Amino acid sequence: MKILGNKRTVLPVAIVATLAFGQQPASAQGLFDMLFGGGIRHNPQGEFPPPPKPRKMRPAGEDGGSVRISGPTYNTYRADKLVRVDFKSLLPAPQATAAQDAAFVPSVTSNSFRDAVAGLSDYELFAEPDIAKALIAYYSANPDFIWVSDNIPNSRAQDAVRVLGEAASYGLTPADYSVDVPAAAHSAATPEEQTKELVRFEMALSARVLRYAHDAQSGRVDPNRMTGYYDFPAKPLDLEGVLKTLAHTQEVRTYLESRHPQNAEYQALRVELEALEASEENEIVVDPKLLLKPGESSPELPKLLTLISRNLDDEMGGSYGEVLARLGKSELYDPELVPVIKAVQQRAGMKGDGVIGPRTVASLAGASKADKVEKVKVALEELRWMPSDLGSPRVFINQPAFTASYIDNGEEKLKTRAVIGRVTNQTAFFYNQIKQVDFHPYWGVPQSIIVNEMLPRLRGDPGYLDRAGYEVTDSHGKRIPSAAVDWGAYGANIPFNVRQQPSEANALGELKILFPNKHAIYMHDTPQKSFFERDMRALSHGCVRLQDPRGMAAAVLGTTVDDIAEKLKHGHSTENVTRVIPVYVAYFTAWPDMSGKVEYFDDVYGRDSKLMQALDATEAVRTPSS
């Protein structure tokens, strides 16, 4: 393809990457990798073209051996250990004499907080370090009860305890926030014992309310500790401020519930969780790992055929009703049943190949109740890592669904198929802000691809990049021939940049949509259109390929597809996005559509189980707390 025109738009000197919601700016190298890239003249395989047949390579021992740049790893999650709250600074000063000490008896009738705190001298309350610190700081500056009035738990306390007890409706664990509520005054207790019980209740409830507020706003685990594939800014919470607010309001429930994400998706997931908890387990359970080809047999087949028969409409019934009635109990996958399975697969948006596998089973039998409950709880936790208000307009990429959507005013105005990173080149989970669209872009080859996939070839054929149309530049931007570089002298630290010029076969296709981030991830077109026909589309090096890139570019630029087509006639150029449009490169195996119906997806990267392990680690730390 000849690129018309020679107009170039100068790229911005600085691309602002700090969002209103706190995203860190991209690194200089990351920006270079995203914004620049070299040229080829034939179709690529993967994300860069195949080289000519390489010459004989040097033995591994002569060129430093095999080197690779590895992606992030998953860590064994370690939750912060609880600490014992040190109440010493709250305790009254020691009395002058032993006789005075013996004479001191806190008076429950005086309702004096300063007197009551003496009951904390031997109290063992454990909390997260920041919560323990906030408790002491707050009560040192505000020596009075929040939760106790007239020597009994007040209405504020009753509301708080009820909210904490309903934590399960948010996918949280009520035991994490449980507090022993003092019984009504009983004759067996002395005034001193009652006072001690009340002040300990005060501290315990404040500690658990702070834990709840933190968990509701930010989640129970720190996602960035789990893996480098997660990248979320901190969501600071003024813990002392929480107690100050609660001390001066009677709207305790409203305040605590406001700490949760306030978006429709979170509410839809809560509704789904409630419905799942109240539902019965699936009547027909099919092996989710079933793999059955025509001519093979399985006792799982009649279960699937029963599910198909139950949901026949007039069209399907007219075409396949007789076959299902005759062979519905068969364990043999008879050739006559193949058209039935193909029709079911096509209706579910899959390629109708007639092979019964996990995706076909999932579309018919669905996941088990337990699996769905876990996916919804995971999704609720993940939503707590994100902004409470997701913004409008916004772009939402859900990796397990292999889709990208443009949403404005509560309406999904564009939804397109997407290709995400392979399991070995996973796409990160983060959010950012869309900044610009590049037409006929350069492709800056990431260092990982240079080292892992190009370098082994370049050691035996250093001129490969020159012949393939790539540009090689040094750290000063000076272009040098690829053949002039002794590629065998370098390991994983290559001091050169490689870029691919705009062309019909450019790995990024005709445009890319940038939201600068340290992962060098963006949305782009691709010459490999056939990938969008596949059901499982984890096939890229990490970036997000779009089936309808022109539609997405038009949406974020606030223009038409015809206008995008016109811009593409004029060669390489760049246009800034002038509106605030957050983009979520998200990972949800349970996610509601725009009507609120929750859909379930395969955990392509196995991340749900890793999050559940992190939650288990958090529970293990919290369990012995009092």
Q: Are residues 253 and 333 in the same domain?
A: no
Cα–chain-centroid distance for residue 549?
23
CA atoms within 13 A on the CB side of 201: 23
Question: Does 189 map to a domain?
Answer: yes
Q: Is it true that the peptide bond before 393 is cis, omega within 30 degrees of 0?
A: yes
Asked whether residue 42 is domain-assigned, the answer is no
Domain check: are 105 and 198 in the same one?
yes
Same domain, 350 and 478: no
- Domain presence at residue 50: no
CA distance 452 to 448: 6
What tokens appear for 258 in the block?
């406001």
Same-domain pairing of 208 and 308: no
Full DSSP string of 281-326: PPSS---TT--B-TT-B-TTHHHHHHHHHHT--HHHHHHHHHHHHH
Q: Which of 273, 288, 314 is the last residue of a domain?
A: 273
Q: Which residue type is seen at 436?
A: Q
> What is the pLDDT averaged over residues 481-497?
87
Instruction: Residue 546: give its domain's CATH number.
Output: 2.40.440.10
Range of the domain at 4: 1-31+391-441+507-588
Domain annotation covers residue 350: yes
Kindly report which listed range (66-80, 112-126, 142-156, 523-537) carries the lowest average pLDDT score: 66-80
172: tokens are 């949280």
Residues 406 and 337 in one domain: no
Q: Count Cβ atoms below 10 Å from residue 102 Cβ, excluding itself.
A: 9
Count structural domains, the chain.
4
Any residues with CB less than 8 A from the CB of 61 and at least 6 apart, and which? none
Cα-Cα-Cα-Cα dihedral sign, residues 112, 113, 114, 119: positive
- 3-state class (DSSP) for residue 138: helix
Tell whether the model's pLDDT for residue 104 goes beyond 80: no
321 and 172 share one domain: no
Establish if 575 belongs to a structural domain: yes
pLDDT tens digits, one per residue of 182-239: 986 555 578 888 999 999 999 999 999 999 999 999 999 999 999 999 999 999 999 9
Confirm if 197 and 188 have CB atoms less than 8 A apart.
no
Does any domain span residue 153? Answer: yes
Using CB atoms within 10 Å of the CB of residue 538, give its burial: 0 to 12 exposed, 13 to 18 middle, 19+ buried: buried
Q: How far apart are CA 544 and CA 192, in angstroms?
A: 66
Poorest-confidence range of 191-205, 439-453, 528-542? 439-453
Is 146 or 477 the better-scoring residue by pLDDT? 146
Which residues 6+ apart lie within 8 Å of 492 measured at CB?
Answer: 67, 68, 69, 451
pLDDT in tens, 137-174: 999 999 999 999 998 999 999 999 999 999 999 999 99
Whether the CB-CB separation of 483 and 470 falls below 8 Å is answered with no
Tokens found for residue 374: 């876990």
- 103 and 252 co-located in one domain: yes
CA distance 54 to 41: 18
What's the pLDDT at 20? Answer: 33
Same domain, 190 and 105: yes
Q: How confident is the model at residue 373 (pLDDT cuts 50, 70, 90)?
A: very high
Task: State if pTM tops 0.85.
Answer: no
Shared domain for 552 and 493, answered yes or no, is no
Say if residue 123 is in the same domain as residue 165: yes
Shared domain check, 188 and 162: yes
Q: Helix (H) and strand (E) counts for the chain?
A: 21, 22
Any domain includes 340 = yes
Residue 73 lies in a domain: no
- Specify whether 129 is located in the same domain as 161: yes
